Structure 1
C-alpha cells in the first residue's frame, strides 16, 4: 500500500507553501503524497541516535546535518522556487555545499540521505524516493530497516565506465559500527543507536 495522494493535480512549491500545516506532504514530480502520521517511537529513537552521532562527528566541519521536517527542494534546472515540482522531507540529510542552504531548507541534492523505514513508508522510500535520489545525484542513500535490523546503502558510481546512478546496494547488519562512505569521519555505532530500542 502506497502513501495517499492529496489529489490528482500537478503541484509546485508555491502550492505546497499555501497548504495548512496540519497535514504534511511531499511533492515528487508535481504529485503530492500525504506523509505518514507521526512515526513510531522506535523510528524516533533510531533517528535521534544517528543524528547525535552525525552532528558530533561533523561539529566544526563544513557539512551540516538536518532532520525532518526539513524541506529539500529538488529543481530540474534553474527554475524559480515557486515552480519547483519536487520537495521532500527525508528523515536525515547532510549537506556539504553551504550555498544550497537557505531559510527554507535546501535547494539541490544533499550529499547523504537517511530514511528510517516504517511499514507505511517502506515502498515509497525503497522505490519512488530511491529513484528520485539517484536521478538528482544524492551521493549516498541509507535505508535503515529497524525490524530486520539491517541498513541498505546505495552509493553513486564514480567510475566513468559505468552509467551514472546508484550501484548495487550494500546491506549491513545493524551491529558494531558503520562509516559513511562519502564522510568516513562519520561512524554510526549501532549498539549505541539501538540500546533503547526494544
Structure 2
C-alpha cells in the first residue's frame, strides 16, 4: 500500500487493538494521532487532579480514570471493532456504570480534563472540544499548564458548549458537574 493510500485509509478500534503496544495512539473519525510522552509539569498536574478527584469520588458511584484509558465514542450502535473514535483523556469521570467494560469506557464520560502539551494543544482545543460536544460530555476542562489558566466548557440544554468559563489558578475552581467539589490549585506554587 502506498503512503497516499495509507493516509486516506480510515481505521477502526479493531485495527487500533492490533497496533504495537510500545506506542500510544488516539483515533478520531478513523484518523490516527500519535501521542507523545508528556512533560513533567503535565504529569504533576494530572497526578494531583487524580488525587483530589479520587478522594472526592470515594464512596460515590462515579469512577475516575487517567490516561492511558480508552474512551470509545461510537457514532451509533456499531460493534466495538467498527468504532472509529477512541481517545485517551488525561482524566475521565464516568457516572454511568453501564458505560464501563473490560476495555475502558464506551460512550461519553460525564467530565473530561485535558492538560495541554505543545504537541496536542490544537487538537485538544478544537478537534476534541467539538468531538466531546457531539458525544455529550457534560463538562470539559482544558488546562494550560505553562500559563496557568483553564477553560471550562459545559453543555447547555441544546447539547452545545457555549462560551467557556476562563479561570486562573490563583483560587479554587468549582466543578459544575459536582457542585460540592472544587479543585485546589495551591499545589501549583510548588511545581
Query: If the TM-score is normalised by the length of the shorter chain, which range does it land in?
Result: over 0.9
1:33 aligns with 2:27: no
Query: Which of 172, 177, 182 is matched with 1:187 structurally?
Result: 182
1:13 aligns with 2:13: yes
Given that 1:117 and 1:125 are in contact with CA atoms closer than 8 Å, whether structure 2 keeps it comes out as: yes
Partner of 1:3: none
Partner of 1:164: 159
Structure 1 counterpart SS, 2:112? strand
Query: Which of 171, 176, 186 is matched with 2:171 structurally?
Result: 176
TM-score by structure 1 length? 0.91
Q: Tell me how far apart the structure 2 counterparts of residues 45 and 184 of structure 1 sit (CA, whole Å).
A: 24
Q: Tell me how far apart the structure 2 counterparts of residues 181 and 79 of structure 1 sit (CA, whole Å).
A: 31
Deviations along 1:109-162, whole A, 9 cap, x unmatched? 00000000011110010011111001100000000001111010000003xxxx
- Structure 2 residues without counterparts, runs of 5 or longer: 1-5
Structure 2 counterpart SS, 1:76? coil
TM-score by structure 2 length? 0.94
Given that 1:10 and 1:30 are in contact with CA atoms closer than 8 Å, whether structure 2 keeps it comes out as: yes
Q: Which has the higher helix share?
A: 2
- How many residue pairs align between the two structures? 186
Partner of 1:141: 140
Q: Tell me how far apart the structure 1 counterparts of residues 73 and 58 of structure 2 sit (CA, whole Å).
A: 26
Q: Which has the higher contact order (CA 8 A, sep 6+)?
A: 1
Matches within 5 A, 1:99-178: 99-158=98-157, 163-178=158-173
Structure 1 counterpart SS, 2:17? helix
1:42 aligns with 2:31: no
- Structure 1 residues without counterparts, runs of 5 or longer: 1-5
Where in structure 1 do 4 or more consecutive aligned residues deviate above 3 Å?
none
Given that 1:126 and 1:143 are in contact with CA atoms closer than 8 Å, whether structure 2 keeps it comes out as: yes
Q: Tell me how far apart the structure 2 counterparts of residues 82 and 130 of structure 1 sit (CA, whole Å).
A: 24
Deviations along 1:147-195, whole A, 9 cap, x unmatched? 111010000003xxxx431011010001121111011222100013x14
Given that 1:7 and 1:32 are in contact with CA atoms closer than 8 Å, whether structure 2 keeps it comes out as: no
Structure 2 counterpart SS, 1:99? helix
